[in-house]
Chains A and B, each alone.
Chain A
């Protein structure tokens, strides 16, 4: 469902110097699988996810998402993905219901209103469905954002640090939604800084640093590879290269 091969992306920084954000990243995520993309700040996680979501074009490499090439057929990719990141905003003066109907219509759903109503119940936001999004709490906004990302029931979910700023209860709701989505055969790429989330949710993790993939495997495989028990220690060792 997601197959990325040797993706590369560079930017020009404030000093006018080219900076390589992603340098040859390859990864695969299959149907009914949650793959965690882990890495410190500036590792290249978000850039990789944005390339997969067709928001930015890769300088080199290829990627197929939901069966379509991200460069050759970005519209088809966008129809098949649900993308959520910290910088994806909500329309502050629209209500959650209006946002969901709007995005469902943009995604080509002919039953936009019905989908919106179903998601208002699924994410327990019906009580706030007529309140402008600007007036919602952080957790409630994130619930609306998640509902917005999945309103067209996409095959692939690309979630970039979706739990940042969320309390435990809202995070639990998100986890249960993602576990349910995995059970329904959805393909999920999930980035986080919280190792506990990765341990709980992810079938496999991809550790990335400096735009390069350092390790790939299940949590158990990476524990065995590093000889560390706590997953945070596993991560630190992989990123810093500390000896076991």
Chain B
């Protein structure tokens, strides 16, 4: 055990001192969602400000002129941004869809002319329920996606870069058995992956809390559900690490490892996205699909529902993936013969 801990310690030090690992596995998942929210809100504010400063020109028949808001300018002639025609009870607005100003004119016209009915959309769901539902919909897929992306680089670094730099030889020429190195690498990549998932979770929660603050609504997700997510997240991290290791282990160069790892990551991401579809449910249709069922099981946990038998299938599949892929990577590395 002392030797295994030494390998873990050295591998973790190596990886956590690597700027690329920190960037891929910690900083990106931590800051991506808050940054996206910030950029989105800034962009929206910019568009709102720009639209407020505009006064599109429209051609409106005399009968509707009185209903025209002050944000639109009534004009005659060919340079109008939108044209309104009345035929009996039908009001036709002609505009250019690709022209932002023309589209703004249309939106303001529709808003002003939607008499006699004014439709007020009213969501009867409590705000906290809506937020929890959005989180349960998106978070599991994002966790799995980042688990795979975040484990790719550490896996390549721990195996291929180790081989390219000659440090694999340095360790293999010692008396420590090879299974110790393989286990150490697998656990290290698994821990980094778990760290990436935790960073994703923190980033997503910060973003969600910000939304909750803006909407003046509680987040609707008790901490106990997040804690209940941990075992599944840990299993997913281990499976993600094993997949990344098995993709990187046979590669003789970093470039080759990038190709195989990217392909493996793309497959996992597609399966994760499948689980993020609004109508996707943990049942007989998707219950056997690996990764997808794990995403759906996590959704169940976040919604406070039991994972059920299909959730057990998902857990079993994650374990099988972890053991088979990890075992395969171990087999490849233990057969390592250095020229």
Chain A residues with a Cβ under 8 A of chain B: 11, 47, 50, 53-57, 75-76, 78-79, 81, 83, 85, 87-94, 98, 102-103, 105-108, 132, 148
Q: Which of B6-14, B31-39, B214-222 contacts A (4 or more CB under 8 A)?
A: B6-14
A92 to B20, CA, bound (A): 14
Q: Which chain B residues lie closer than 8 Å to A75 at the CB level?
A: 175, 177
- Are the C-beta atoms of B175 and A108 separated by less than 8 Å? yes
Other than the given A55-B169, A88-B169, 6 more pairs (CB < 8 A) read A89-B166, A93-B14, A102-B10, A105-B3, A107-B175, A107-B176
Question: 28 interchain pairs (CB within 8 A)?
Answer: A50-B338, A53-B173, A55-B337, A75-B175, A76-B175, A78-B174, A81-B173, A87-B166, A87-B169, A88-B170, A88-B173, A89-B170, A91-B10, A91-B167, A92-B14, A92-B165, A94-B14, A105-B3, A105-B6, A106-B3, A106-B6, A106-B7, A106-B171, A106-B174, A106-B175, A107-B175, A108-B175, A108-B176
* Nearest residue, chain A, Cβ from B10: A102
Contact of A83 among B7, B165, B173 (CB under 8 A): B173
Given known pairs A50-B338, A55-B337, A56-B338, the reply for A88 and B166 (CB within 8 Å) is: yes
- C-beta contact mask, B146-176 vs A, less than 8 Å → 1, else 0? 0000000000000000000111011111111
* Nearest residue, chain A, Cβ from B7: A106
- Are the C-beta atoms of B177 and A90 separated by less than 8 Å? no
Distance to closest chain A CB from B27 (angstroms) = 17
Contact of B10 among A53, A78, A98 (CB under 8 A): A98
Contact of B13 among A87, A88, A89, A98 (CB under 8 A): A98
* Nearest residue, chain A, Cβ from B174: A106
User: Count of chain B residues with Cβ under 8 Å from any Cβ of A?
Assistant: 25
Q: Which chain B residues lie closer than 8 Å to A85 at the CB level?
A: 169
A132 to B172, CA, bound (A): 22
Q: Which chain B residues lie closer than 8 Å to A102 at the CB level?
A: 6, 9-10
Q: Which chain B residues lie closer than 8 Å to A105 at the CB level?
A: 2-3, 6
Given known pairs A57-B337, A105-B3, the reply for A89 and B169 (CB within 8 Å) is: yes
Q: Does B18 contact A (CB under 8 A)?
A: yes
Q: Does B17 contact A (CB under 8 A)?
A: yes
Distance to closest chain A CB from B208 (angstroms) = 35
Q: Does B339 contact A (CB under 8 A)?
A: yes
Distance to closest chain A CB from B15 (angstroms) = 8
A228 to B3, CA, bound (A): 53
List the 7 closest pairs (A to B, CB-CB), nearest first: A89-B166, A79-B175, A106-B174, A105-B6, A93-B17, A89-B165, A106-B176
Q: Which chain A residues lie closer than 8 Å to B172 at the CB level?
A: 55
A53 to B132, CA, bound (A): 59
Q: Which chain A residues lie closer than 8 Å to B10 at the CB level?
A: 91, 94, 98, 102
Q: Which chain B residues lie closer than 8 Å to A132 at the CB level?
A: 17
A87 to B10, CA, bound (A): 20
Distance to closest chain B CB from A54 (angstroms) = 7
- Are the C-beta atoms of A103 and B170 separated by less than 8 Å? yes
A90 to B172, CA, bound (A): 13
Chain B 284-339 interface residues, beta-carbon cutoff 8 Å to A? 337-339
